[in-house]
Amino acid sequence: MKITKFKSILVILISSFVLQFCSETDNDPEEFIADASDFFNFMNFNLEATNIGADPALGTAHAGNDSTVTRKVYIKNGQNTVNGSYPLGTIIVKHSKKDDNTVNEITAMVKRGNDFNSDVGNWEWFMLNPADNSIVVRGGKEMMNGMCNACHSAASAKDYVFSN
């Protein structure tokens, strides 16, 4: 009787182990879909760059492209490229502001993955509300009639990122 109970328990334990081992899946996500909470407190992300004044490369895509604007670029968790590309879930935020608050624009890009906007490395573009960092608009190749993709294509050698 004791041997039968022991065998039964042993079979259950081995079966549980086999089921657990065989059911494990790859925990690497294929897609990262950002929400407003991902941009919360972005000014505490790593400050990657501070630029003051006009930038001819910006053209009319971003507000306040003149001598009085300050643009700060933040990267969540100080993410760096791996083999030339930023990893899935990388969040980059640019805050453009004038001291008199006539310009206060927050744009962001997130490495989404899963062939989202594959023409430019799977980046998703965002415009955030300066009052609460909520998402005002988001998109891929259609964002701003393709302006984000067109401009960032010039930085293809750096995974479509100008600041790093």
Backbone angles phi, psi at 144, to 5 degrees: 50, 45
Q: Average per-residue pLDDT in the chain?
A: 85
**Three-state DSSP class for residue 141:** coil
Query: Where do the domains of the chain lie?
Result: 31-158
Rounded mean pLDDT, 36-60: 90
Beta carbons within 8 Å of 130's beta carbon, 6+ residues apart: 104, 105, 106
The pLDDT score that the predictor gives to residue 156 is 95
Residues 31-158: name the CATH superfamily: Cytochrome P460 (3.50.70.20)
What DSSP line would sit under 99-114, residue for residue? TTSS-EEEEEEEE-BT
**Taking the model in full, what pTM does it have?**
0.81
Report pLDDT for 4: 64
Q: How confident is the model at residue 18 (pLDDT cuts 50, 70, 90)?
A: very low
Residues 44-73, mean pLDDT to the nearest whole number: 86
